[in-house]
Chains A and B, each alone.
Chain A
Amino acid sequence: MARYGMVIDTARCVGCMDCVVACKTENGVPDGHCRDWITEEARGAWPTVRLELRSERCNHCDRPPCVTCCPTGASHVEEELGRIVLVAHDQCIGCKACLASCPYDARFIHPEGYADKCTFCAHRVAKGLEPACVAVCPARCMHFGDLDDPLGEVSRLLESRRNHALLPAAGTGPRIFFLT
């Protein structure tokens, strides 16, 4: 079975937030909330600075603590769809354990009361399309695919470029990798 993830080239990323806007319109994300966001990390002192720009979102982890801690099973792994982590809105009670369990703070409570987050645009992926953020990126720095396919684009990128995931010590097995 497939295991979907993303590989994002931070060298090409310009931090323009097109991914944020596209997600907003594609998914109707409520005002004051976002499912994905840009993080700027600048190291060093003026003028010797290094800058990494990252488009971040839920990492759809291999060992998602948000799924483990959910008391109703609303937060679940979609085995048939590349193991994307989703929330069934009508099973969620809004206890917020999943928000507390996520080391990336990727979740939020939707104004209607259920826990919400990036869904890897499951509704698009199911139709063979890429997530909206990947499709819109003008820097063409975002790649989505099956991490278990050794010949697939994401695997080849991970093999050919230096890369890192976020907070590996938290131990959740994130599936979004940043090329540096």
Chain B
Amino acid sequence: METTELTVHRLNPLVDPGLHVWGWEIPVYLFLGGLVAGLMILSGYLLLTGRHRRPAGAFHRLPGLAIALLSLGMLALFLDLEHKLYVWRLYTTFQIASPMSWGAWILLLVYPALAASFLISRQSRRMERPGLVRRVGLLNLGLGLLLGIYTGVLLSALGARPLWNSALLGPLFLVSGLSSAAALVHLMARDREERDLFAKADNLFLGTELALVVLFVLGLLSATEAHVQAVRLLLGGPYTAVFWVFVVGLGIVVPLIVQPPAVRHRIRHTPVAPLLVLAGGLALRFVIVQAGQMSHWR
């Protein structure tokens, strides 16, 4: 086999010898964004089904929590910027082809939706009109879906990094966000019925997530050589262990083993499964963002 010696006389920071433009800030933001998206979808569901009124229900704490988590995420996002004083430029234009521009505006719209949801959760009488509740529910549901998917599309639109180059990344991040949100609500739930409900929902999301992970890997394996090389980072390459052990094993499979019996009341609910789900969700973002930067077209 012919050897090739490639000597590139370039050593630009963040770019050489391998791309490393995004550190912890972006994975943290993507995780929190996905989590908030999931919380919004779950809130929307609760609003639309009227379950938001349950006295010990989790809904009362969700919007406030979501606002806090989202703000943390946006702080992380802001910290990542290299030209921070110009951040306002995001809001003087809308670049329809840029997922990040979509995200900037979605995030802006998410706050009022969460605020409305928050007011409802404070049981303000003015907010108790069914039509309004329904609209707020749909708004949260819709924006949550957009927020959840966009975090994945943000990466998948960057074709230069073959690992991200999968249409499944958006749905994967959305479902992961939903599963993280369900796990979080499960942790917070004081109402036994609600706990079961969200654990069951989480199982559904985890199962879907597992399927999407498998399809994601298969999709890359059947694409171009650059894509095959990229997914090899997870199949024998440096990210193999952390991906299959932490993201898939501990983050999806173990909860899927432990949670269904808990739902069927064979064993007690413990925080173990939801905590693993949350950790797994964060790990998923870290692995995809870091490994993705390592993948390239050369």
Contacts and interface: CB of A to CB of B under 8 A. Distances in A.
B19 A72 contact: no
Contacts, number: 155
Nearest to A34: B10
Interface string A80-116: 0000000000111111110111110101110011100
A105 B98 contact: no
Contacts of B5: 40-43
A56 B95 CA distance: 29
A92 B7 CA distance: 31
A127 to B, nearest CB: 28
Nearest to B159: A65
A39 B86 CA distance: 35
Interface string B17-37: 001011000000000000000
A33 interface: yes
Nearest to A68: B97
B14 interface: yes
B260 interface: no
Q: Most chain-A CB neighbours within 10 Å: which of B5, B10, B86, B93?
A: B10
Given A32-B11, A69-B99, A94 B4 contact: no
A34 B12 contact: yes
Interface in B75-118: 80-87, 89-90, 92-93, 95, 97-101, 103-104
A107 B15 contact: yes
Interface in B214-272: 224, 226
Interface string A108-133: 11001110000000000000000000
A84 B226 CA distance: 28
A108 to B, nearest CB: 4
Contact of A93 (B4, B14, B87, B97): B87
Given A99-B21, A105-B19, A170-B160, A91 B86 contact: yes
B33 to A, nearest CB: 14
A167 to B, nearest CB: 5
Contact of B93 (A43, A72, A94): A72
Given A34-B12, A101-B160, A105-B19, A113 B226 contact: no
Given A42-B4, A105-B15, A93 B21 contact: no
Interface stretch (B184-192, B278-286, B290-298): B290-298
Given A99-B14, A169-B226, 19 more contacts: A37-B9, A41-B5, A42-B5, A44-B3, A69-B98, A71-B103, A93-B82, A93-B84, A95-B100, A100-B19, A101-B158, A101-B160, A103-B296, A103-B297, A105-B19, A108-B12, A113-B82, A114-B86, A170-B159
Nearest 4 A/B pairs, CB to CB: A94-B82, A94-B83, A113-B83, A37-B10
Interface of B: 2-16, 19, 21-22, 80-87, 89-90, 92-93, 95, 97-101, 103-104, 154, 157-161, 224, 226, 293, 296-298
9 contacts: A33-B13, A44-B2, A65-B160, A68-B97, A70-B100, A92-B86, A96-B80, A169-B297, A170-B159
